[in-house]
Structure 1
Amino acid sequence: MKIFSYKNIWALVAAAAGLTACKDTSYLDVDAANRPPLSAYISFVNARPVNAALSFYTFTDKITPTPVAINTASDYYPTVFGNVQINITEGTNTSYKASYQFGNSATFTATGRPNGPIATFYHTVVAARTASNKADSLILFYDDLKAPESGKVKLRFVNLSPGAGTLNILNGTTPLFNNVAYGRAANSALTGETLSAWTLGPFQSVNAGKYAFNFKDSATGTTVGNSSTVTLEAGKIYTVFTNGLVQGGPAFGVSVLQHPVK
């Protein structure tokens, strides 16, 4: 049996210390103040059926440098993450038209909505109206901006036309998405095992080409509206959303937003 003396032990400790001294610990010398800040990235969309531009804020910080016109989107801007209050003002007014606190719910539910923006991730926040068209509201979607499969397009559809009801979406007569409720993205999940930050507001893989969107009331099959022909290019990422009003003005319409590939 081999016996270690204290002399042997101290020799081992000294050798271990020597090995430790050879390790690169330069990363420990980075001053916290010099580390790049973490941010969430948000694109803001004005989808209200009101012909007025909007400014978007996180808490009291104005994020959009210029107001966002109706049925358009801003660039993605870095901002805070986690439990975040997002606000909108209309035109030159300084009072908030709508405010919503994202991230103060422990679960994803229809009433609690998703958790807040995620650090380093991309999001879309939409200013819209409630289903009754009596108040302004805000909706947050998580954006997976990885490139589509070769030869494919990533497409998301969002129903944002108050009064249009739950919609089925077709390309001409070919079904694309079914039973999309107002304020929701096609194939999004609010309950069940598929529920996660990545499935709320998902993009679907579709073929590139020309699309003539046809929108039908899912309950009656009645055509609610349609779009002119839209060309979706391979390798690109799009959100298509309905806007305006089926009855009244501005009239029912369709907007196509292109997202950057990250």
Structure 2
Amino acid sequence: MKNKRSFFLSSFTILAFSACNKTDYLDVNAGERPALSANIRFVNARTENTAIQFWTFTQKVTTNALLPGTASPYVATTYGNVQINFTEGSGTAYRASRQFGNSATYSATGGPNGPIAGYYHTVFAAPTKNDAAKDTLLLFYDELSAPAAGKAKLRFVHLAAGIGNVTLKLEQAGTETTLYNNIPYGSAGGSNLKGSAYDSAPFTNVNAGTISLVVSAVEGGTPLPVQGQGLSNIALEAGKIYTVYIRKDGKGLINAGVIAQ
């Protein structure tokens, strides 16, 4: 009887120890868990004067409708193979949809670069390459490390429908510098195409202060007429990160937008 009691006690001890180990194994510190969402900032770069809402699949992810030229805060969303859509105002009909991460190559409806868990991204709603009256969605990866001391970081995105490849020059304190050459529509200056996927949409460190940007058509080198203040006298603060983009409306006028991180 004593041996049986010892056996049962030993078995209970082993089971209790195993259960304790299992609990310890599952009790992972929250800070050590892998990220379970991607972070996306949404930008309305359309030419229509209508506010829009963004969705991943059938879930609305923007809290407030975005007016043209405005951006949302970063939103924790689905990652991997993701369909992103947008609607106008309080409507529920998708004005444009695109699947990211579902294809080996780019098409009008899909592409290879899906949102990555734990990373930051910007998605633009913008005019399509050849028709400013139609809409598309474009996704870029955001690298948000701090600028160098006394610098700001700058990225330029070409969203002007019907405009060929462009060159971007920066003017500051009487000095002109070429930042990017040969930027195609739907791309950020300095992006590298590897196969059919962008490896990055990089930012460039530039001196903080007031700058002007000149966008020129690669063919002929003619500066593009950007409306209003456009790309002149842009104030860059040290330590901040900026995305500048151009678009062309249905009347053929080129406009610019500046989004600070």
| TM band (smaller chain) | 0.7 to 0.9
Deviation of residue 37 (structure 1)? 6.8
Gaps of 5+ in 1: 1-16
Distance 2:219 2:248 in 1: 20
Structure 1 residue corresponding to 2:190, chosen from 187, 190, 193: 187
Q: Deviations over 1:151-187 (max 9, x none)?
A: 2222110011212322111123432211111111011
Aligned 1:27-46 pairs, distance under 5 A: 27-30=24-27, 38-46=36-44
The 8 Å contact of residues 71 and 243 in structure 1, kept in 2 or not, is answered as no
Corresponding residue number in structure 2 for 1:10: none
The 8 Å contact of residues 55 and 91 in structure 1, kept in 2 or not, is answered as yes
* RMSD across aligned positions (CA): 2.9
The percentage of aligned residue pairs carrying the same residue is 46
Distance 2:242 2:28 in 1: 40
Corresponding residue number in structure 1 for 2:209: 209
CA distance change for structure 1 residues 80 and 216 in 2, over 3 Å: closer, same or farther? same
Corresponding residue number in structure 2 for 1:233: 237
The 8 Å contact of residues 165 and 183 in structure 2, kept in 1 or not, is answered as yes
The 8 Å contact of residues 180 and 186 in structure 1, kept in 2 or not, is answered as yes
TM-score, structure 1 normalization: 0.79
The 8 Å contact of residues 83 and 103 in structure 1, kept in 2 or not, is answered as yes
Corresponding residue number in structure 2 for 1:9: none
Q: Deviations over 1:33-58 (max 9, x none)?
A: 9x797111100011111111111000
CA distance change for structure 1 residues 147 and 32 in 2, over 3 Å: closer, same or farther? closer
The 8 Å contact of residues 214 and 225 in structure 1, kept in 2 or not, is answered as no
What SS does the corresponding residue of 1:72 show, helix, strand or coil? coil
Deviation of residue 61 (structure 1)? 0.3
The 8 Å contact of residues 127 and 247 in structure 2, kept in 1 or not, is answered as no
Deviation of residue 243 (structure 1)? 2.3
CA distance change for structure 1 residues 27 and 103 in 2, over 3 Å: closer, same or farther? farther
The 8 Å contact of residues 170 and 213 in structure 1, kept in 2 or not, is answered as yes
Corresponding residue number in structure 2 for 1:150: 149
Deviation of residue 207 (structure 1)? 2.1
- Tell me the matched-pair count: 232
Distance 1:51 1:155 in 2: 26
Q: Is 1:131 matched with 2:132?
A: no
The 8 Å contact of residues 188 and 202 in structure 2, kept in 1 or not, is answered as yes
Structure 2 residue corresponding to 1:252, chosen from 224, 232, 254: 254
Gaps of 5+ in 2: 1-13
Deviation of residue 82 (structure 1)? 0.8
Greater shift in the superposed pair: 45-54 or 171-180:
171-180
The 8 Å contact of residues 142 and 202 in structure 2, kept in 1 or not, is answered as yes
- Which amino acid is 2:157 matched to? V
Corresponding residue number in structure 2 for 1:163: 162
CA distance change for structure 1 residues 185 and 26 in 2, over 3 Å: closer, same or farther? same
Aligned 1:37-116 pairs, distance under 5 A: 38-105=36-103, 107=104, 109-111=105-107, 113-116=111-114
- Which amino acid is 1:102 matched to? F
Q: Is 1:175 matched with 2:173?
A: no
CA distance change for structure 1 residues 32 and 59 in 2, over 3 Å: closer, same or farther? farther
Distance 1:24 1:151 in 2: 52
Distance 2:166 2:116 in 1: 30
